[in-house]
A and B are shown apart, each in its own frame.
Chain A
């Protein structure tokens, strides 16, 4: 345990900035999860594994001498088709079924992806070096890698782009209509099957962007997927479905929480504290709702 946080105020600034930049990335993944949850009523446990797969695409571009930042463009395109493929093979069979079935089915996909990535890319922790250098603030007391700033910037651009796309485009309108009432949308001529496929593809593409950014800023590893799923789930339940500013805020909050947990408890408890926080948030909400004799739906 380390109480540096309290002795050196600059570490607090550092942790906050790191956390916010990290949290914006989490919010991007969580946005994808909220999208598919809201539209298809599916909780995708393989979300994190899609992120990691997206990261490996960028990493491979880096290995072949292409700057990994291009992964931000290439990875979502590939991931879109991966997402549509998963939808066609598995998800369309669980869409109308019990939620637990979809959780278990995507859990299976997650295990499958984890192991396939382990075979294909090896079990090493890798990162794609962007060579962006670092920024020093406050007489070098706060160190910010430029790649983190870049990734936060790109995430915001993609998030805004997606919001506009959802508002203006025809597909976006169809997706929103399906989310509101799938049956009514079907009656009015929306091909919900296509909308579902596109939603899952969009979600996978968002994961691809986030993964490419994570491979530049942090590290990726085949087994690191599940924490990203849990983080995005947590962000969505804190913010609620369809509450975009809420998703951004709780994403950043989670990022800051993690950085502080890292400093105070030590790195080995970082992931554990994320999972514990999930349990605590759910329990807190459960007690808050049970006062009104309601429960989380």
Chain B
């Protein structure tokens, strides 16, 4: 326990001083925070509940559009804003910007949660690969449809309000860093709290055998919907922050980007290890470092690299880093190992 407090304290302190120690990496660190949030929330679905979804991108994109729309729409006519494209006739004052951002983030988190609750009953009745394909369809449909809606910029995109001119040059990066770091801390605390309750056991029961769980008297549908709503809440929040961070929202390339973000969150969770608390965090960090380190190296070939990476991870490394560690050092995961039994197993292999 003491060790844990030390670890969390060290991470927290690192997180708080990081933007000042590595000022050049502020944006990268913010994106890393968002990625960890996405991977962790995907893990509630895919790892703990066993419902492998490609559709969390729906909530992410929804949150992104909602946050920006609220931020603009609270003070200015939204249609004129998107119509004017890059050349802005309206300028947010600092107060307006921060008020709008706060309200926008609340809406961006709450509305996807409600949406998840509403469609949950219909969608979560599907199982296995039908669920996966259905959510894939949902994500792509949302992208295609939002690309046809005029008021949020249709095909030409939506520029989010520029950061107001306060606090010097570094203010924008620091603001978004602490916003995303705050979201990360919030997510981690919430997920950790969830994982220490009976709720997590129910989710695991659903993953292991849904019919049996139902036969044991668990209202599986209720818990599946709650699990999905938790995912949606944090995905929406992450989307809202990412929208402001990127500064530009496009329907298929930024918001409902099933080809990048939608796959990234699955990949990160699998790389780190599905169904563990730390797996997605480690996976997202490793993936982000790999991505940033090699993306420029692979310039233009990054999708090729991504495709190969997916295939390799899925085929050769489906247990992830945590799964590998667990196999290697089972004692550290609180598993009691019979030494003789272990030796016998090694010999069998």
Chain A residues at the B interface, C-beta cutoff of 8 Å: 43, 90, 93-94, 97, 99-101, 103-105, 107-116, 118-119, 226, 230, 233, 237, 266, 268-269, 271-273, 275-276, 278-279, 282-283, 286-287, 290, 295-297
Contacts and interface: CB of A to CB of B under 8 A. Distances in A.
B130 A296 contact: yes
B127 A112 contact: no
B344 to A, nearest CB: 26
A108 B311 contact: yes
Interface stretch (B92-100, B136-144, B226-234): B136-144
B304 A112 contact: yes
A-B pairs with lowest CB-CB distance, top 10: A112-B307, A108-B310, A272-B144, A275-B141, A115-B303, A111-B307, A268-B148, A108-B311, A278-B137, A286-B125
Interface size class of B (residues with CB under 8 A): 35 or more
A262 to B, nearest CB: 13
B126 interface: yes
B114 to A, nearest CB: 18
Interface string B292-323: 00000000110110111111001100100000
A63 to B, nearest CB: 24
Contacts of B127: 295-297
Contact of B148 (A99, A119, A266): A266
A250 B314 CA distance: 33
B52 interface: yes
B138 A269 contact: no
Contacts of A230: 133, 136-137, 140
A283 B136 CA distance: 14
A296 B132 CA distance: 12
A109 B123 CA distance: 27
Select the residue from A97, A108, A116, A295 with max chain B CB neighbours within 10 A: A108
B308 A112 contact: yes
Contacts of B155: 268
Given A100-B52, A109-B307, A111-B303, A269 B137 contact: no
A233 B135 CA distance: 13
19 contacts: A99-B128, A103-B52, A104-B270, A104-B314, A111-B307, A113-B307, A118-B303, A119-B301, A230-B133, A272-B141, A275-B138, A275-B141, A275-B144, A278-B133, A278-B134, A278-B137, A283-B134, A286-B130, A296-B127
Contacts of B318: 97, 101
Given A115-B307, A279-B138, A286 B145 contact: no
A109 to B, nearest CB: 6
B266 interface: yes
Nearest to A97: B318
A100 B132 contact: yes
A275 B300 CA distance: 29
Given A107-B310, A283-B123, A226 B140 contact: yes
B148 A269 contact: yes
Select the residue from A94, A109, A268 with max chain B CB neighbours within 10 A: A268
